[in-house]
Structure 1
Amino acid sequence: MTNTAAEKVHVHAPSGFPGVELMRARYVTQRFSRHFHEEYAIGVIERGAMRFRYLGNDMTAAAGQVNIVVPGEPHDGHAAADHGWTYRMFYLAPAVLEAALQEVAPQAHQVHFAVGVIADSELAARVLRAHCCFADPGASTLARQTLLLDMLTHWISRHGDRRSSLPATHSEAGAADAAREIISERHAEDLRLEEIATYAGMSPFHLVRVFKARFGLTPHAFLVHVRIHRARALLRTHMRLADIAAAVGFSDQSHLTRHFRRQYGVTPGAYRNFIQNSARPHA
């Protein structure tokens, strides 16, 4: 699928590997809006360079480097040079990493990665090998499983911060979590800030400040994220795009398309085609 004459994107969801999705893309003019993923993202810059703001810092991922984003951490993205960037990315559900974590450190309950760019040629090679294998329709399940586990164990053991417990929460964090919960549950509604603030137990002004401090997004930006995430799941069904837009709370299909492309770099229709094509058995 082509966005412009210079921008190409391909998405692949391999059958038999729930929670694993791949993307290979070249971007020149694409500017990703500030958003976050429910999954871990790990990939390699093949050519060019990408600049993004992540973990409170401006970062640049250049050719040969590994780009990482953890679930829930807001970030954006755009070209760091006129010729843009090309990369291969994995999007991995937390359960995929949890399985590998048990192999590396059975006593750990979770793993965190404190950087967004890693200069590790061995990890980059593993990511590329696994990505190419998953993209190869003739590759065996065993080959994919082996290379994925090799990539994950190297990544976790070399760069993961393994933790045995979650950090304690405070009253403001609890209020922000409550607001996040109501937005997630009622994302298709036309929610008012006053209603969310009342549910969270603080003033609207205070809630916006606390919510952004905790999640890196305003309540409205988080609402858009939730709607896009729900729409992404529905694109695996046969629902019409206009019906999907209405089901997740967008006023019309054009709003869905605009926000989806700003977050994923492709239109909803193109994403659906990629997923449907990758689910078809190969001769």
Structure 2
Amino acid sequence: MTPVQPGRPGRYWFDPAMPFVESRCASDSGAAYLPHTHPTLSVGAVDGGHSLFSTEAGAVRLSPGDVVVIPAGQVHACNPEPDRRWSYQMLHVDAAWAAAALAARGAAAPAALARVRITSAADTYAALCALNRLLFSAAPCACKAAALAAFLAALLGDADPRQTVRAPRPPAGRARLARVVATLRERHAEPLPLAEMARAAGMSRYQLIRAFRAETGMTPHAYQLDLRINHARHLLRAGGAPADVAQDLGFSDQSHFQRAFKQRVALTPRGFQRRAG
């Protein structure tokens, strides 16, 4: 895919007939994101400039042509170097669809869907560019879906020695934190006092914050905000009014919602809705 030229706006592709995939390309961007998650398997590539990709395991400098695979639910941030700009493309695929597509091709690799991978292989970058050219074209959905499945099989179906695998570190206290994570997922739109979550984990409030940050890279409050924003994306795409979405998800007001959304999506709720419409 030829990178978008500097000065031209980024592009976003989504087709309601293919709700399991979306793609975004940005050019000459200085936007920075807070640590966040995606509910999807995400595959990103650097087209120009450099990026700092970080997880709880550390940070890696990405260069043009580098491709990073991010599992669903993995806390991360991928930003330009300080006072610099970069161009990139990002593909988001429903994790269940990806697993089914791999299995159908006899390339089932569930472990590959749960690991961060970074590769500098030129053919991997070229394949992602070619896939995005197809997705952004007027080709039939069946052709796009087949190409997406083939790309994932090539990327994840076999162990590629050129790929660097970085798995999140398993911290102590995972079982106790799992209860807190489950509560946040089930009740993310509710005000959940830190003291209540700490009691559920059998920790003090400060122990919980330290342990939660060590496992996820976020505080419990930031994790809850991230869950709300991911839910908001679905509601906005379905046509929900931003003010109603903000209220339904427990934001104190629309300005709080807009600020939190833009910090994680680099678009306002209304801007995201226009692009996804």
Same fold, TM-score > 0.5, yes or no: yes
- Counterpart position of 2:30: 29
Partners in 1 of 2:216 and 2:171 — Cα distance? Answer: 14
Which residues of 2 match residues 115-134 of structure 1 at below 5 A?
A: 115-134=116-135
Deviation of the 1:200 alpha carbon: 2.7
Deviation of the 1:56 alpha carbon: 1.9
- Counterpart position of 1:164: none
The alpha-carbon distance between structure 1 residues 199 and 81, as it changes in their structure 2 partners (threshold 3 A), is closer
Partners in 2 of 1:98 and 1:40 — Cα distance? Answer: 10
Partners in 2 of 1:170 and 1:47 — Cα distance? Answer: 35
The answer to whether the Cα contact below 8 Å between 1:245 and 1:252 also exists between their aligned partners in 2 is: yes
Deviation of the 1:216 alpha carbon: 2.0
Deviation of the 1:150 alpha carbon: 1.9
Deviation of the 1:20 alpha carbon: 0.6
Q: Which amino acid aligns with 1:200?
A: A
Residue 173 of structure 2 aligns to a residue in which SS? helix
Which residues of 2 match residues 41-120 of structure 1 at below 5 A?
A: 41-80=42-81, 84-102=85-103, 103-106=105-108, 108-112=109-113, 114-120=115-121
Which residues of 2 match residues 90-239 of structure 1 at below 5 A?
A: 90-102=91-103, 103-106=105-108, 108-112=109-113, 114-136=115-137, 138-159=138-159, 172-239=173-240
Q: Which amino acid aligns with 1:274?
A: R
The alpha-carbon distance between structure 1 residues 110 and 16, as it changes in their structure 2 partners (threshold 3 A), is farther
Unaligned segments of structure 1, at least 5 residues: 162-168, 277-283
Deviation of the 1:159 alpha carbon: 4.5
- Counterpart position of 1:280: none
Deviations 1:48-78 (A, max 9, x none): 2222223522212222221322222222232
Deviation of the 1:195 alpha carbon: 1.0
Q: Which amino acid aligns with 1:101?
A: L
Partners in 2 of 1:171 and 1:115 — Cα distance? Answer: 20
Deviation of the 1:172 alpha carbon: 2.1
Deviations 1:69-122 (A, max 9, x none): 22222222321375511112111111122023312434x544246445310111
The alpha-carbon distance between structure 1 residues 216 and 82, as it changes in their structure 2 partners (threshold 3 A), is closer
TM-score by length of 2: 0.86
Partners in 2 of 1:257 and 1:170 — Cα distance? Answer: 33
Q: Which amino acid aligns with 1:105?
A: A
Q: Which amino acid aligns with 1:61?
A: L
The answer to whether the Cα contact below 8 Å between 2:107 and 2:153 also exists between their aligned partners in 1 is: no
Partners in 1 of 2:172 and 2:115 — Cα distance? Answer: 25
Partners in 2 of 1:116 and 1:84 — Cα distance? Answer: 23
Deviation of the 1:160 alpha carbon: 6.9
Deviation of the 1:210 alpha carbon: 2.1
Partners in 2 of 1:183 and 1:120 — Cα distance? Answer: 38
Unaligned segments of structure 2, at least 5 residues: 1-5, 162-169
The answer to whether the Cα contact below 8 Å between 2:55 and 2:217 also exists between their aligned partners in 1 is: no
Partners in 2 of 1:78 and 1:170 — Cα distance? Answer: 26
Residue 45 of structure 1 aligns to a residue in which SS? strand
The answer to whether the Cα contact below 8 Å between 1:183 and 1:223 also exists between their aligned partners in 2 is: yes
The answer to whether the Cα contact below 8 Å between 1:113 and 1:159 also exists between their aligned partners in 2 is: no
The answer to whether the Cα contact below 8 Å between 2:56 and 2:215 also exists between their aligned partners in 1 is: no
Partners in 2 of 1:194 and 1:55 — Cα distance? Answer: 24
Deviates more, 1:173-182 or 1:5-14: 5-14
Partners in 2 of 1:263 and 1:109 — Cα distance? Answer: 27
Partners in 2 of 1:159 and 1:258 — Cα distance? Answer: 40
Deviates more, 1:252-261 or 1:57-66: 57-66
- Counterpart position of 2:256: 255
The answer to whether the Cα contact below 8 Å between 1:112 and 1:160 also exists between their aligned partners in 2 is: no
Q: Which amino acid aligns with 1:9?
A: G
Partners in 2 of 1:100 and 1:70 — Cα distance? Answer: 16
Partners in 2 of 1:81 and 1:210 — Cα distance? Answer: 29
